[in-house]
Amino acid sequence: MTKRRIRLNLEYLGTRYAGWQWQDNAVSIQQVVEEALGKITSLKSRVTASGRTDAGVHALSQPAHADVETRMSDGEMVKAMNALLPDDVVVKEVVTVADDWSARFSAKEKTYIYTILNRERPSVFEHGRVWHIKKALDIDVMRDAARALVGEHDFTSFRSAGCAAKNPVRTITKLNIDRDDDTIELTFTGSGFLKQMVRNIVGTLVEAGRGKIEPDDVSTILGERDRTKAGPCAPPDGLCLVDVVYEDN
């Protein structure tokens, strides 16, 4: 059998999982994907994703790569893996790629959507997939506050204390806030994001929408480069990785 590299496109609900990365005492997305892959190939494969989603975070499109030894075609691998995976993790596609293609390092742009349910009553069907906020949010104020975050900045104020990235400078190319009835969606597109950066930004923009901070305060918070100056970290439930762009797209 010939060894080859494959690109997987994964979709998952992160509610039951301890994030993407393997954990000693909890089940992760990476674990269930590698275990399923290991049952259909003769090579124990490490599956590398475009990024490590945190516990409770979802993905509509999470690219990953792995080196495999199997006689199965790409399409046959999709069917075989989905027969083995739990219902909340799905392989949408498998494509054979160049041996040096990397889901992580070949990525050029990522898009996340954070969803807020903004009404008095919660939703049974959206439970675990939105941040339920009862008090009405002023999205015009949130939009004003968000403008300071677009572009290239040092996002130290919006990364988690445990973030290991050496360079805190990132570029947000798009930050849109849209409302449809009771649902608010914040769409983030950028070259990459620091650990919990999106959720910390969402928590800060919600503080603006609640009237607890002024829109101009966000620019000040950004310049402080101090995590304690920003708002709380939004819960993981509402966050979903929706797209990753590569040069070969």
Closest CA to 63 of 7, 5, 6, 4: 7
End-to-end alpha carbon distance in the chain: 29
Beta bridge partners of 185: 115, 178
E strands in the chain: 3-12, 48-49, 58-69, 89-97, 107-118, 131-133, 151-154, 169-180, 183-190, 239-246
Catalytic choice (54, 100, 178, 226): 54
Kindly state the tokens that stand for 200.
Answer: 């910390």
What is the full DSSP assignment across 33-51? HHHHHHTT-SS----EESS
Beta carbons of 223 and 153 less than 8 angstroms apart: no
Is 54 known to be catalytic?
yes
Contacts of 183 (CB under 8 A, 6+ apart): 115, 116, 117, 118, 130
Identify the residue whose tokens are 């990753």: 244
Question: CA of 4: how far to CAs of 30, 43, 71, 245, in Å?
Answer: 19, 11, 10, 22
- Longest CA pairwise span in the chain (Å): 62
Kindly state the tokens that stand for 43.
Answer: 């090579």
Write out the catalytic residue numbers. 54
